[in-house]
Amino acid sequence: MMIKLTIDDKAVDVAEDTTLLEAAKSLKIKIPTLCYNTYLKPYGGCRICLVEITTAQMGGHSRLVSSCTYPAEEGLKVFTATDRVKQGRIFVLELLLARCPESADLKALAEELGISYDETMDEVGNYLIHDAPKPEATKCILCGLCVRVCAEVTKRNALSLAYRGANRKVTTPFNKISETCIGCGSCAYLCPTNTITVEEAD
């Protein structure tokens, strides 16, 4: 059964289980993504792909959802570039930049979204985390692409997300050299911030 919806006032018919991101792609509407990959299960980790949705039943209200995980629904009206969407994406990106101020890819996305970027990111970082200690410098945005490709495609489970809060990170079991890693490099290939690199073993 096909589902009819509109995206930015353009009508589109899509198959069941199509996500809003995929539906938008079919209309050539660009939505920024960081943790999405066509070949992996939707994860909804980064939230940069926010869109605004409403239906006749919502009585004039709307809400923000991540387009890479939200399925198309009959009669849904989707907006990808409202002020609310832009503010939501900027907020998400500011949080990511506070964690990863060195990431060239996030800087590029910030420019695309119109966030003024100070080289030290102090202003954005301080605004978001006030006087909290800065986390260890990292380029990892915790999108989980490396963990997911290793589990879903390579089926080695050599990586996982461990710890909580500011200490959360991607690591190998017990932080030791993984015995299941086959050195395929898929994790490095998919990493959107080039945090993972492949090195020859000694």
3-state SS assignment for residue 155 = coil
State in angstroms the smallest separation of the CB of 83 from ligand FES: 20
Q: For ligand FES, which is the closer residue by CB, 118 or 152?
A: 152
CA distance 124 to 145: 26
State in angstroms the smallest separation of the CB of 143 from ligand FES: 7
Listed residue (195, 182, 189) closest to 156, CA to CA:
182
Contacts of 71 (CB under 8 A, 6+ apart): 16, 17, 18, 19, 20
Listed residue (82, 45, 91) closest to 62, CA to CA:
82
State in angstroms the smallest separation of the CB of 67 from ligand FES: 6
Q: For ligand FES, which is the closer residue by CB, 156 or 192?
A: 192
- Give the footprint of ligand FES on this chain (CB under 6 A): 33-36, 44-49, 66, 68
Q: For ligand FES, which is the closer residue by CB, 22 or 156?
A: 22
State in angstroms the smallest separation of the CB of 34 from ligand FES: 5
Residue 24's φ and ψ, nearest 5 degrees, are -65, -40
Token code pair at residue 41:
């299960």
Q: For ligand FES, which is the closer residue by CB, 44 or 135?
A: 44
3-state SS assignment for residue 46 = coil
State in angstroms the smallest separation of the CB of 76 from ligand FES: 17
Q: For ligand FES, which is the closer residue by CB, 141 or 156?
A: 141
